[in-house]
């Protein structure tokens, strides 16, 4: 941690915190869409139009497996495509332009889903809104990572989890309020929440500065310095601001020298960037590896076929997201003040794995569709939601955005998020085969698979992930260029801030001489 810049409080950095919080509003869409989709699959009003009558099921209605697969997986497919090409887009345009485009696509996708009763047109709407979601998640988190001070980066990037959970709670409440309505309004009103993010965010973007690091990387130094001044407000003195600015400029200049003129997605897999890319890919893949996408997309439906009635399942969907919100607050505090990034990720893999194991064991040894099995399943699902939001959910985006280089951040983070969405698509597409009564009908035994993937994630976190808490992005660049092993990151002293300080003092001396 650099001794030269003050560890100013959140209040001192309130202007930057507010800007990052407003940009992170983009992630509200993530929670709204995921929980709305999960709940619609158990809503009679939605199933009257897009499903079929089935007296043998607890809700009285069923949903075709293919339709169930596609409405869940096409969103993630669209997000995969847009995240994959985010690096190319960012090479020519800024973070704000990408978010404006995402707002437009989100509106188009929402309108299509609301007005149609055709399965095929719903698929188109899901794909378009997925493309918008990919840009929303990718560029909002990149912006917050590049805009925030080093010691508060975990908090400001973890705002992703705050907004995602708020969106989940809002979607759960609205779906519950409409769950007994048997008209088209029952699903059109929840889908109407998709307009919240694009309407508000599109207006907010007119009043926030572009990422200063992106501006410097494009050679727009004067604009970059103005943007940094706006973000820091009065949290730094003029000398401290000059020091941070000099470190940013020097760090990006060093990166460009090492790049030898090459900028492109292939650079992610060359030299030291290969290690950084693999770490970024691993932490984003750990989201899907936790099993979260299975529960995000299908938990309400999963619990209905496991024995809960529709009303209980909808009330539980609200409860679990509220529990997740508490988990986010705990996780942000622990990551910033107690555990750091690496231990947070390891704790997440352990507790998530135990929660999944609990679900699977219940399904194996307890008689299905009894009060006992229902209550135990609900308990372990709640524990999973708390654990995921407190640990991997809170830490994954801060880690993914800070372990990669500034020059390649859009390429690497975008590709990593696209990998995460690809794995989420596989999960969304495959899960119905395991839990749908028409297929394997494993129910909660499906959680054995996710127990194993959580164990694998924990092993990767332990052996390969460095601790980056409190480091500036430029210090992290230096440590990777020096090939410092993961277990020495925390104790190794960096030089870039000392070099920046020396240049600031030399510049001040020259200015004094000129005045004399």
Q: What is the pLDDT of residues 14-38, one digit of tens each?
A: 899 999 999 999 989 988 887 787 7
**What sign for the dihedral angle of Cα 219, 223, 227, 228?**
positive
Q: Are 463 and 322 members of one domain?
A: yes
Q: What is the number of domains present in the chain?
A: 2
Burial 228-262 (b: 16+ CB within 10 A, else e): bebbbbebbeeebbbbbbbbbbbbbebbbebbeee
Q: How confident is the model at residue 231 (pLDDT cuts 50, 70, 90)?
A: very high
- Enumerate the H helices of 436-495 as residue ranges: 447-464, 473-481
Angle at Cα 42 formed by Cα 37 and Cα 45, nearest 5°? 95
Q: Show the domain range for 492.
A: 471-507
- DSSP class of residue 61 equals E
Q: Are 443 and 392 members of one domain?
A: yes
- DSSP class of residue 339 equals S
Q: Are 106 and 209 members of one domain?
A: yes
Q: Are 140 and 186 members of one domain?
A: yes
Using the predicted structure, report yes or no on whether residue 457 has a pLDDT greater than 80: yes
Distance (Å, whole) CA 19 – CA 156: 10
Q: Are 343 and 478 members of one domain?
A: no
Q: Which residues contact 25 (CB under 8 A, 6 or more apart)?
A: 140, 163, 197, 200, 201, 204
Q: pLDDT of 111-168, one tens digit each?
A: 999 998 888 898 999 999 989 988 998 899 899 989 888 888 888 888 888 888 888 8
At residue 284, the pLDDT reads 92
CATH number of the domain bearing residue 178: 1.20.1250.20
Using the predicted structure, report yes or no on whether residue 223 has a pLDDT greater than 90: yes
Q: Are 445 and 476 members of one domain?
A: no
- DSSP class of residue 11 equals T
Position 109 in a domain: yes
Distance (Å, whole) CA 174 – CA 187: 10
At residue 427, the pLDDT reads 81
Q: Are 206 and 93 members of one domain?
A: yes
Q: Are 488 and 429 members of one domain?
A: no
- Enumerate the H helices of 290-339 as residue ranges: 292-305, 310-333
Distance (Å, whole) CA 344 – CA 312: 33
Q: pLDDT of 61-77, one tens digit each?
A: 677 777 877 887 788 78
At residue 430, the pLDDT reads 79
Position 2 in a domain: no
What is the token pair recorded at 500?
Answer: 């920046």
Q: pLDDT of 459-503, one tens digit each?
A: 999 999 999 988 888 888 889 988 999 989 988 888 877 776 777
Position 253 in a domain: no
At residue 516, the pLDDT reads 44
Position 240 in a domain: no
Q: Are 387 and 503 members of one domain?
A: no
pTM over 0.85: no
């Amino acid at each position: 941690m650099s001794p030269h810049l003050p560890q100013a409080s959140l209040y001192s950095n309130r202007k930057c915190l507010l800007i990052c919080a407003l940009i992170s509003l983009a992630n509200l869409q993530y929670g709204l869409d995921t929980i709305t989709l999960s709940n619609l699959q158990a809503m009679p009003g939605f199933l009257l139009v897009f499903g079929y009558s089935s007296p043998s099921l607890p809700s009285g209605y069923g949903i075709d497996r293919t339709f169930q697969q596609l409405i869940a997986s096409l969103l993630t497919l669209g997000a995969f495509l847009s995240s994959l090409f985010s690096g190319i887009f960012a090479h020519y345009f800024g973070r704000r332009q990408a978010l404006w485009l995402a707002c437009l696509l989100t509106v188009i996708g929402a309108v299509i889903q609301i007005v149609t009763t055709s399965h095929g047109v719903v698929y188109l709407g899901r794909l378009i809104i997925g493309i918008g979601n990919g840009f929303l998640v990718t560029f909002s988190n990149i912006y917050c990572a590049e805009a925030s001070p080093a010691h508060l980066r975990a908090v400001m990037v973890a705002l992703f989890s705050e907004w995602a959970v708020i969106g989940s709670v809002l979607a759960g409440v609205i779906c519950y309020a409409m769950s007994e309505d048997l008209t088209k309004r029952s699903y059109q009103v929840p889908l109407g929440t998709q307009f919240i993010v694009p309407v508000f965010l599109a207006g907010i973007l007119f009043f926030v500065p572009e990422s200063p690091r992106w501006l410097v990387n494009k050679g727009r130094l004067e604009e970059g310095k103005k943007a940094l001044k706006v973000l820091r407000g009065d949290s730094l003195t003029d000398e401290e601001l000059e020091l941070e600015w000099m470190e940013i400029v020097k760090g990006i200049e060093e990166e460009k020298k090492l790049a030898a003129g090459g900028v492109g997605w292939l650079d992610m897999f060359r030299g030291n960037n290969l290690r950084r890319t693999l770490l970024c890919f691993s932490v984003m893949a750990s989201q899907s590896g936790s099993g979260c996408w299975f529960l995000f997309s299908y938990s309400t439906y999963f619990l209905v076929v496991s024995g809960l009635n529709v009303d209980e399942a909808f009330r539980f969907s609200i409860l679990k997201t509220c529990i997740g919100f508490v988990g986010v607050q705990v996780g942000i505090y622990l990551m910033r003040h107690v555990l750091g990034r690496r231990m947070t990720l390891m704790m997440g893999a352990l507790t998530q794995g135990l929660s999944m194991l609990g679900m699977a064991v219940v399904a194996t040894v307890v008689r299905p569709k009894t009060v006992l099995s229902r209550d135990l399943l609900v308990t372990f699902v709640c524990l999973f939601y708390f654990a995921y939001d407190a640990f991997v959910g809170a830490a994954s985006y801060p880690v993914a955005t800070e372990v990669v280089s500034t020059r390649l951040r859009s390429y690497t983070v975008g590709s990593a998020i696209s990998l995460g969405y690809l794995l989420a698509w596989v999960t969304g597409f495959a899960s119905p085969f395991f839990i749908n009564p028409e297929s394997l009908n494993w129910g909660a035994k499906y959680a054995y698979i996710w127990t194993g993937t959580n164990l694998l994630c924990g092993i990767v976190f332990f052996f390969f992930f460095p601790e980056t808490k409190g480091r500036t992005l430029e210090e992290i660049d230096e440590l990777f260029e020096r090939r410092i092993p993961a277990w020495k990151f925390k104790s190794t002293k960096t030089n870039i801030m000392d070099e920046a300080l020396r240049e600031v003092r030399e510049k001040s001396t020259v200015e004094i001489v000129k005045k004399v």
